[in-house]
Amino acid sequence: MKLENIVKLVVPAVFAANTAFANEAQVATTEQVTAMVQTNDNATFSSKENAEDWYHQKKIIKSGKATVLIQPSKSNPGFCEYGLDGFPQVYDEKYKDKRTENQKIEPAEMILNGTNNTFLFPCDLKATYTPNLVLVPGPAEIIEKEVPSVLVSAGAGYVQLFAEEDEKYDFNGILQGGKAFITFQPRGMNWYFGGEAMLYGNSSSTTEDITAPATEGPLAGQLVMQGKNDYSLETVGFGVGSIVGYLLSFDKRGRFGIGLELEHGLLHDWVTRKFGESSAHYIKSVDQNGEPVYTIVEGTNISNHSDNNDTQFYGYGMGGLRLKLPYVCGTISGGFRTDFSNVDGMLSAGVAYCPNKE
C-alpha cells in the first residue's frame, strides 16, 4: 500500500449582497381572516365594482369552499396580502380554477383593502430572508488517501485439451478440467504478471467379446472357446505456468478495459492402461427342442490382467483476451501443447475478481 496526496479545496459559504425571500403563502388562521373581514366590512370602497368584488369574495369565504391565503409583504413590513386560492378574477364559488389552486397568491386572487385601496392589510407576520449562497474557494487542504501499490486479481476457469484418440480404449481424445490463476498489476503500469495451475483428466473403457469354435479334430463344430477382453484407459494431468499480459484501460478509474495475455508452462500426464482377458471352452450340444446348449469344459478357465503406467511431459502456450469490467474480468484463450512429437490443441476460459484502480 502507499499514500496518495489528494488536494481538496475548503469551500466556505459566504453571503452575497442580494437576498431572496423564503416566505411562501400560508393558510390564514381564523383570527387573521376575522381581522381582514372586519377591516373590509368597515371600509368605504373607492368604487361600486370593488365593493361588489368584496361582496362576492366574502360569500366564498363564508361558504368554506375557498382557502384564504396570507403572506407578509416583502416591501412593506407590518402588512400582509390576502388571496383566495383558486379564485382569480371571477368570484363565484361555482367557477373554481384548479389551475391556480397552488398554495400561491396570484395577482388576480388578491383581496383589496377597501380602506386605503391597496392590497395591504395590517398584520404581525414578518418576512424572513434566506441569503443566496456564493461558494468561494478557501485554502487547499491536503488529504492522504491509502491506495494499493499492486492490484491483485484472482480467479478460476475451465480448460480443455484435444489429445490423440484411441479407438482400442474407446477414448475420444478430450481431456477436461479446471484451473486457478492469480495476477499482479503494479500501480501505474498497464502490464500484469501472474501464475496458474491446472488439473484435468478423463477415462474410458470398452469390452470385446470373443467366440472361437474349433475347426479341426474330433470336436470340430462342438468345442467353442468363449471369452472377453476388457480395456480401460485413465488419464490424469497437472500443469503449472506463468501469465504475462498488457491491459489497456478505457477510463481513469480502471473500471473498463481490454487486454492481451500469454500463458505458458509445463504439463505432466499420468496414463494408466488396463487390460483383462477371461475365457473358457464349452461343448456345444442340442437339447430336445433343438436349442443349442453349452457345457463348460472343466479346467479350461483362463483369466489374465495387466496394467501399464506411463508418464509424459508437455510444454504449452496459449494466447488470449482479458475483458475488464467493474470488479470483474473475463478471460478466453487458445493454444497448444507439445512433447516435440505430437501437438495437441488447448482451450481455456475463466472469470476473476479484478479491482479497479481507484
260-285 pLDDT, tens digit per residue, is 999 999 999 999 999 999 988 888 77
Q: Is the pLDDT of residue 6 over 90?
A: no
Q: Is the pLDDT of residue 22 over 50?
A: no
SS (H, E, C) 98-159: HHHCCCCCCHHHECCECCCCECCEECCCCCCEEEEEEECCCCEEEEEEEECCEEEEEEEEEE
Q: Which one has a higher pLDDT value, 312 or 134?
A: 312
Nearest in space to 266 (alpha carbons), one of 246, 231, 238, 287: 238
Q: What is the pLDDT of residue 144?
A: 61
DSSP per residue, 200-264: EEEEEEEEEEEEEE--SSTTTTTEEEEEEEEEEEEEEEEEEEEEEEEEEESSTT--SEEEEEEEE
User: How large is the average pLDDT for residues 70-96?
Assistant: 85
CATH of 148-354, one of 2.40.160.20, 1.10.10.10, 2.102.10.10, 3.90.180.10: 2.40.160.20
Q: What is the pLDDT of residue 23?
A: 61
Q: What is the pLDDT of residue 91?
A: 75
Q: Is the pLDDT of residue 86 over 60?
A: yes
Domain layout of the chain by residue ranges: 1-19+137-147, 23-127, 148-354
pTM score of the predicted model:
0.56
Q: Is the pLDDT of residue 125 over 50?
A: yes
